[in-house]
Chains A and B, each alone.
Chain A
Amino acid sequence: MAYSEKVIDHYNNPRNIGSLDKSDASVGTGMVGAPECGDVMKLQIRVNEQGVIEEAKFKTFGCGSAIASSSLATEYLKGCTLDNALKIRNTDIVKELNLPPVKIHCSVLAEDAIRAAIADYQAKQTQA
């Protein structure tokens, strides 16, 4: 199976790779995994006081499509409000990256990671 050019581009030049301080109150961390392939994906967001995502970072151990999906997800997230971030769907990622049917679960993982990061951030706010 051939990867699309966009997947290869994200794979070779991943955007926003790295980590944020997970104990920081303005940072939300989402850690998700796909047992069938042993993939793990960590996606983090830093949210400012206006509820806008200022920074998004990821690190993924997995196949090219999983890396590209999370890389693209961080691009979508930057500058996004939390409400709009929740509207990002895995199908947006599938379309943009031309993912074949067998790789759709990679985009689902990225959507799950976004939701988990937002949930973690929101949980921190109610605690504070």
Chain B
Amino acid sequence: MNDYFTVLGLPRRLTLHPADLDRLYREHSWEAHPDRRPRTEQAQAMTETALLNEAYRTLKDPYRRAQHLLALEGISLEQNPPQSLLMAVFELQELLEDPDTPPAELIAQKLHWQNRAQTLDQTLHQAFSEWDQGNRTALTTLKAILVQQQYLNSLLEKLQIATN
């Protein structure tokens, strides 16, 4: 498995300024560009460029960045989400399915879940700084956050469609 932090010449830290990432990506892409390589190294340059693109895409998104770190640290995401979250998801799905649910209720739900997603973003960034300070228990927190985020994403998508 490729370490995308290494690919872009970054330490394995989670707090990352988008501007720094953009700059590193540009610099590496410039060096790896097939036009700058001799004919014999074309295939190699293409592979490097593809790898850089994938590394950049992965690290740019905070959640994908966290997911990549967990994978590098050998932590599987398979885990049963907390019961309270499953209950809440289940109840929301029932509301979405019921044709008698008033639109105002759906809008209220959308705001509620958007708030939860924002809180989760904050928790994510806290876990980022803990990891960056060398605290390995942050990995457990990150795992729980990622499991929740997958549910929140699919719920928000459904709520978006339902309230349009």
Instruction: Give the interface of A toward B (CB within 8 A).
Output: 31-33, 35-38, 40, 42, 59, 61, 112
CB of A35 within 8 A of CB of B151, answer: yes
Instruction: Give the interface of B toward A (CB within 8 A).
Output: 77, 79-81, 83, 85-87, 89-90, 93, 97, 146-147, 150-151, 153-155
A sample of 16 more A-B contacts (CB under 8 A), given A35-B81, A38-B151, is A31-B83, A31-B90, A32-B80, A32-B86, A33-B81, A33-B86, A33-B151, A35-B77, A35-B79, A35-B146, A35-B151, A38-B150, A40-B90, A40-B93, A61-B89, A112-B80
Closest to A42 in B: B90
Which 9 pairs from chain A and chain B are nearest by CB? A38-B154, A61-B93, A35-B150, A35-B147, A31-B86, A33-B86, A40-B90, A40-B89, A33-B81
Residues of B within 8 A of A35 (CB): 77, 79, 81, 146-147, 150-151
Residues of B within 8 A of A59 (CB): 90
Q: With the chains together, A33 CA to B85 CA distance in Å?
A: 10
Q: With the chains together, A120 CA to B51 CA distance in Å?
A: 48
CB distance from A91 to the nearest CB of B (A): 18
Q: With the chains together, A42 CA to B100 CA distance in Å?
A: 22
